[in-house]
Structure 1
């Protein structure tokens, strides 16, 4: 199961204020732990919304409207994310709870959401490659083991 940990933006992250050295080190340590455990698929920080553009489509149709940032922080902006693959929602929650929280005033929020899984295994090329290799080996073994002639 894949989950996204969405770290919400704060006034500080939107202002481009660099996090403390302690928080940056704790964040890096957490990412390394996830990578070493084999659950981390991606982790990125987003630039402040001043460099963003919102594209809004009206329910009535027509041309989309464009709005350049900055956007209000009360609109649940993301500052960074981590994409993980784990065996259960409990395991994802445990990883989310291990994420560091920066010191300072104000709330800090992490949202955990499961990603929709595709019907096929297109996102798992390693598994498809292993299955193809196993099928090749089975085919080869079947050709090697030919039925023995019946004895008269």
Structure 2
């Protein structure tokens, strides 16, 4: 089962971490990632640049969609990074999530990623995606 762990920040989290050297944060997170890798759970993980660093939002209420620089909504709605893990159960996902070295004010949302088998197999686009995935595995 694959899960996405989505890291969300708040003003309180930014305040709590402001005096922690970036290299220390990077090392702590690197150790956690090493644990995920050693356990065979890590599929991918990335930190994201701040919204003001080239981010934009598309609003599909108009045709064509409106493009706006920056982030969407409140800071609590933003996410700063993510991991995709592959584990045996929801409980395993929760165990890895609780081990994540995040501090006060940070939220970690965990969502299951459905498999392609969970979608209607007679849909032509599901079939095309399945074919593409199989070709990528070769």
TM bin, normalised by shorter chain, reads 0.7 to 0.9
1:27-82 per-residue CA deviation (whole Å, 9 max, x = no partner) reads 11000000000010001100001121100111xx5221111015454351110100
Post-superposition shift, 1:23?
2.8
Highest Rg: 1 or 2? Answer: 1
1:36-115 maps to which residues of 2 (within 5 A)?
A: 36-50=38-52, 51-58=54-61, 62-102=63-103, 107-115=105-113
Distance 1:95 1:122, change over 3 A: farther
Greater length-normalized contact order (CA 8 Å, ≥ 6 residues apart): 2
Q: Secondary structure at the match of 1:49?
A: coil
Q: Structure 2 matches for 1:106-145, cutoff 5 A? A: 107-119=105-117, 123=133
Do 1:52 and 1:68's aligned partners in 2 also have CA atoms closer than 8 Å? Answer: yes
Aligned length: 120
- Offset of 1:10 from its aligned partner? 3.6
- Alpha-carbon RMSD: 2.8
State the TM-score, normalized to the length of structure 2.
0.73
What is the aligned partner in structure 2 of residue 7 from structure 1? 7
1:71–1:122 Cα change, 3 Å: closer
Q: Which consecutive unaligned segments of at least 5 residues does structure 2 have?
A: 118-129
Unpaired segments ≥5 residues, structure 1: 130-152
What is the TM-score of this pair, normalised by structure 1?
Answer: 0.66
Give distance in 2, aligned partners of 1:63 and 1:33: 45
